[in-house]
Amino acid sequence: MIDIDPNKQNQQTIKEAISISGIGLHSGKQVEMKLVPAEVDQGVKFIRSDKKNNNEIYAIWSNVSETVLSTTISNSSKLKISTIEHLMSALSGLHIDNLTIYIDASEVPIMDGSSKPFVDLIENVGIEVQNKKRKVLNVKKVIEVKSNQSSAKIIPNNQFSIDFEIDFPSQLVSKQSCQLQLINGNYKSDIAAARTFGFEKDVEQLRSNGLALGGSLDNAVVVGKSEILNKEGLRYDGIRPKVTPGTYTANLKYKGQTISSKIKVRGDLRINLPIEDYQEKLMALLALRDLLSETHELIDYVDTVIEQLDDLKVKLNSNSSSDNADLISLSKKIADFKDEELMRPPPSMSYRQRPRLRGEIRSLMRAIDNTTNSPTVPQLERIESLAEELNQHKTMMNDMESRINEINESNASLPQIILKGN
């Protein structure tokens, strides 16, 4: 790999040791791990601290032993470390060449399901540039590997660039593509936060086979039939309003100087749409984006209110002189509001309930974004009805806020429930 940053030509390690605790995605077990600086030319080495003999495993291609649902490396004694892909991605993206990793289990902790926690921890302690040049692999000819419906091709280039595509039989994931040149630190902004995902229909089967035992909505994206089950959705969802064709002025500011340049944006030549239709599509997606943001804010706000009410109920229950019947009634009313108005009924499995309104907004966004036509009249009417529905939910919450204020006044000696307007 050749990086345009000359400072990245030397080998690197971390400046200080890092201790990490987490859950193994598949094992469901608590894992303790420690990242320790290493000398030049060592490479990345795992040490199983729970084993005494033959407990070292180098993270090199020849030690890769399994690639089913995760990447596993093993040594000659069949000792293994699995689910290394997020950590190794972080090390590669940050150009960490030398590192010793002590781990007391056979699986790297999943963290939030992405590389970002590892990136943040490493950047927090700092990166040490070492006094020896990095070894690079120079690809001189095309290499291609095919397996069933999958394929990978490596092509000689003077920079490390990636062009990939996925295709799943799901309207939520479907066919996606991405092109990246991993230069100038864009790994952190464009890749690191991407989370592992799986399909709701596969969860029970995985767990019955002893897999995904540590999986949850906190460390994986779960794709349902019609929506993403995670309240926060996808970090890189691919549904973003696109600028309409035309001529734009781009301004680059650097060290007090501004450089301006005209940029001409052309529409997809395969799509013959009038400019008015492009603009109508853009305005529809922008309207839905705003509705989605407001829905997220409302759901998060309701969650914080419910948590505060629950805490207050505990305090009132410990005070025999207080009558908390009104508080219990209101708490139930808000919880029912969240379940019945904002959320779908919970699925049979033990995942959190799914936002109904949010799911409908995202579904409509995908429908409009994935078509080559302008939005239909029913689609535009549905945007208006979703906006009205959201306003109704806000009104209902405002009414309940009035009751909460009354509770605050009647329980002045206890911690106050914090509302938006307070």
**Domain limit, last residue, from 182, 208, 223:** 223
405 belongs to a structural domain: yes
Burial classification of residue 60, based on how many CB atoms lie within 10 Å of its CB (0-12 exposed, 13-18 middle, 19 or more buried): exposed
CATH code for position 123: 3.30.230.20
Q: Which residues contact 59 (CB under 8 A, 6 or more apart)?
A: 43, 44, 45, 46, 73, 84, 88
192 belongs to a structural domain: yes
The amino acid that residue 413 corresponds to is S
Rounded to whole angstroms, the Cα distance separating 102 from 45 reads 9
Judged by DSSP in three states, 332 sits in helix
The amino acid that residue 179 corresponds to is Q
**Per-residue pLDDT of the chain in tens (422 residues, 90 and over written 9):** 334 444 468 999 999 999 999 999 988 899 999 999 999 999 999 999 999 899 999 999 999 999 888 899 999 999 999 999 999 999 998 999 999 999 999 999 999 889 999 999 999 999 999 999 998 888 899 999 998 888 898 988 777 778 777 777 776 776 666 667 666 677 887 788 888 888 888 888 888 888 888 888 888 888 887 777 777 677 666 566 677 788 888 888 877 888 888 888 877 665 677 888 888 888 898 899 888 888 878 877 777 777 777 777 777 665 544 456 666 777 777 776 666 555 443 333 333 344 567 767 877 887 787 677 788 999 999 999 999 989 988 888 888 788 788 777 777 777 777 777 55
Sign of the C-alpha dihedral, residues 231, 232, 236, 237? Answer: positive
Whether residue 347 is found in the same domain as residue 291: yes
Whether residue 216 is found in the same domain as residue 329: no
pLDDT, residue 340, reads: 58
244 belongs to a structural domain: no
CATH code for position 158: 3.30.1700.10
Question: What are the structure tokens assigned to 129, written together?
Answer: 């540039």
Judged by DSSP in three states, 396 sits in helix
Burial classification of residue 3, based on how many CB atoms lie within 10 Å of its CB (0-12 exposed, 13-18 middle, 19 or more buried): middle
Cα-to-chain-centroid distance, residue 314: 34
The amino acid that residue 161 corresponds to is S
Residue found under tokens 């139930």: 332
Whether residue 161 is found in the same domain as residue 94: no
239 belongs to a structural domain: no
pLDDT, residue 106, reads: 93
Cβ atoms of 10 and 131 within 8 Å: the answer is: yes
Residue found under tokens 């590192």: 99
**Domain limit, last residue, from 93, 111, 133:** 133
Q: Total structural domains in the chain?
A: 3
**Domain limit, last residue, from 102, 133, 164:** 133
Give the strand order in the sheet containing 72-74.
64-66, 72-74, 80-81
pLDDT, residue 329, reads: 73
Rounded to whole angstroms, the Cα distance separating 229 from 362 reads 12
Question: In the 8-state DSSP scheme, what is residue 105?
Answer: S
Whether residue 63 is found in the same domain as residue 122: yes
Rounded to whole angstroms, the Cα distance separating 134 from 97 reads 8
pLDDT, residue 347, reads: 39
16 belongs to a structural domain: yes
Residue 114: give the domain boundaries. Answer: 6-133
pLDDT, residue 236, reads: 67
Whether residue 288 is found in the same domain as residue 394: yes
Whether residue 111 is found in the same domain as residue 40: yes
Whether residue 290 is found in the same domain as residue 378: yes
249 belongs to a structural domain: no
Question: What are the structure tokens assigned to 140, written together?
Answer: 């001189």
Whether residue 167 is found in the same domain as residue 208: yes
Whether residue 168 is found in the same domain as residue 119: no
Cβ atoms of 132 and 40 within 8 Å: the answer is: yes
Whether residue 81 is found in the same domain as residue 166: no
Residue found under tokens 């200080």: 16
248 belongs to a structural domain: no
421 belongs to a structural domain: no
pLDDT, residue 1, reads: 34
Whether residue 213 is found in the same domain as residue 305: no
Rounded to a whole number of angstroms, the distance between the first and last alpha carbons of the chain is 55
Q: Strand 221-223 and strand 197-199: pairing?
A: parallel
Orientation angle between helical segments 356-369 and 275-317, nearest 10 degrees: 170
Whether residue 188 is found in the same domain as residue 300: no
Residues in the chain, total: 422
